[in-house]
Amino acid sequence: MARAVTGIQPSGQVHVGNWLGMIRPALTIAQDWESYFFVADWHALTSHPEPDVLRRATREIAATWLALGLDADRSTLFRQSDVPEVQELAWILGTVIPAGLLERGHAVKAARDGGREVNASTWWYPTLMAADILAYGADVVPVGADQKQHVEMARDMAIKINVRFGDDALVVPEPRVRAEVGVVPGTDGRKMSKSYGNVVPLFDTPKRTRKAIMGIVTDSLGVDEPKDPDRCTVFQLYKLLATDDEVAEMDADLRRGRGYGYGHAKEALALVMERTVAMPRECYTEWLASPARLDEILDAGARRARVAAAATLDRLRERVGLHALRRGSLG
């Protein structure tokens, strides 16, 4: 069976952009593919979270996947840091890539743009992410459009390894971007991102979610003036959540104007958002109230993930000339 892998960093609330751009497509793929879902807690260390905050955030990401429909018996859900083989693979990958490649990574650019320190781990981020992808022999990687670069970099690294050590040393993955989603817009019109502070939270209270939606930036056209839905952030989010009939109705209302303003559109978006997330939010809350159950699922997933990663590393260690490990039982 073909494999897919994807992950989310536990560095703040999961937002609508995460869900629509990556989580929902990944869960669709998981219906037919052998899928690996990891919580990227090693990556989160680059922003220096408090230990207790990181542990809770890790469980929150796991609870999010489960609340949105991940079947932990069918797919593998685990903490990134519970698979040490990934770090070993990252080191091997680092021996075949030029340093300049890492300078072009999103993580470095985002840190510099935000005035944050570019520490060595931030710089090394694309290599570790490539190892996250390549360790499990993934054929596809469901990602949002803004993360496609990391998959392209993983492909480049895998190809370099295969040229040097044999065509079958590593699987060369393909990015899977949901075409109809692309980049999910945030409340200010830029891509939705925690670093921009422009997110619509996924599982916050209805009141706070509505407040975020009502704060979406629009132009100054009045209630009775015709508006262009294609240039309206509210409509761009609405059409990702509403039914076809609802989308057609808002499209017509905006174009017509005559008593239909952006406030009406925002109210409609808040209603469809609450309708969509109410039940998953309740499930999410229940999972967070059972941290021991979450840890059991994550631990079981890590055991399965290590088996897959060990197979990749055992093959690669032999190819590059390292001593074969006696791993014992990982399953």
With 0.95 as the threshold, say if the pTM is over it. Answer: no
pLDDT in tens, 47-82: 889 999 999 999 999 999 999 999 999 999 999 999
Q: What is the rounded average pLDDT of the residues 271-283?
A: 97
Q: Per residue in 157-215, pLDDT tens?
A: 999 999 999 989 999 999 887 665 567 899 999 989 887 899 999 999 999 999 999 99
Mean pLDDT over 87-112 rounds to 84
Lowest-pLDDT choice from 264-268, 273-277, 320-324:
320-324
SS (H, E, C) the chain: CCEEEEEECCCCCCEHHHHHHHHHHHHHHCCCCEEEEEECHHHHHHHCCCHHHHHHHHHHHHHHHHHCCCCCCCCEEEEHHHCCHHHHHHHHHHCCCCHHHHHCCHHHHHHHHCCCCCCHHHHHHHHHHHHHHHCCCCCEEECCHHHHHHHHHHHHHHHHHHHHHCCCCCCCCEEECCCCCCCCECCCCCECCHHHCCCCECCCCHHHHHHHHHCCCCCCCCCCCCCCHHHCHHHHHHCCCCCHHHHHHHHHHHHHCCCCCHHHHHHHHHHHHHHHHHHHHHHHHHHHCCHHHHHHHHHHHHHHHHHHHHHHHHHHHHHHCCCCCCCCCCC
Residue 329: pLDDT band with limits 50, 70, 90:
low
Domains of the chain are 3-183+290-320 (3.40.50.620), 203-285 (1.10.240.10)
Mean pLDDT of the chain: 91
